[in-house]
């Protein structure tokens, strides 16, 4: 399989303020080119042996595969959940100028 052109990273947050805080840190540190904050999600899930229901905020990042590990660490460090949802989906194709924009706006970790 070809290396993904980018990653679409899905995160759920306890509040819009938490999502904004994490987004600000990630974009400021150039670990992601963009963050989308989508409030008003309702979640239902198993936790501690029973079904839970909560209002959450969705946070979506656009980043590069090479920056994902640092982005994930930042999210986990700043997140209020003990087990935050952080899922990376490979972007295999997209609008070439937009993919170029992501590459131009994410600083790659030093090797």
Two structure tokens written together for 75: 């999210």
Residues 6+ apart with CB under 8 A from 103: 6, 64
Chain segment 21-67, per-residue pLDDT in tens: 999 999 999 999 999 999 999 999 999 999 999 999 999 999 999 99
Question: How do the domains of the chain map onto residue ranges?
Answer: 6-105
Q: What is the pLDDT of residue 110?
A: 56
Q: What is the pLDDT of residue 111?
A: 43
CATH number of 6-105: 3.30.70.120
Residues 6+ apart with CB under 8 A from 14: 54, 56, 57, 80, 81
- Residue 2, pLDDT > 80, answer no
């Amino acid at each position: 399989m070809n290396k993904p052109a980018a990653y679409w990273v899905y995160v759920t947050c306890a509040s819009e303020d938490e999502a904004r805080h994490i987004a600000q840190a990630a974009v400021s540190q150039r670990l992601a080119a963009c963050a989308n904050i989508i409030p008003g999600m309702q979640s239902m899930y198993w936790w501690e042996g029973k079904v839970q229901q909560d209002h959450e905020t969705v946070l979506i990042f656009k980043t590069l595969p090479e920056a994902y590990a640092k982005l994930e660490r930042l999210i986990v460090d700043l997140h209020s959940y003990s087990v935050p949802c952080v899922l990376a989906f490979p972007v295999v194709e997209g609008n070439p100028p937009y993919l170029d924009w992501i590459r131009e706006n994410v600083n790659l970790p030093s090797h």
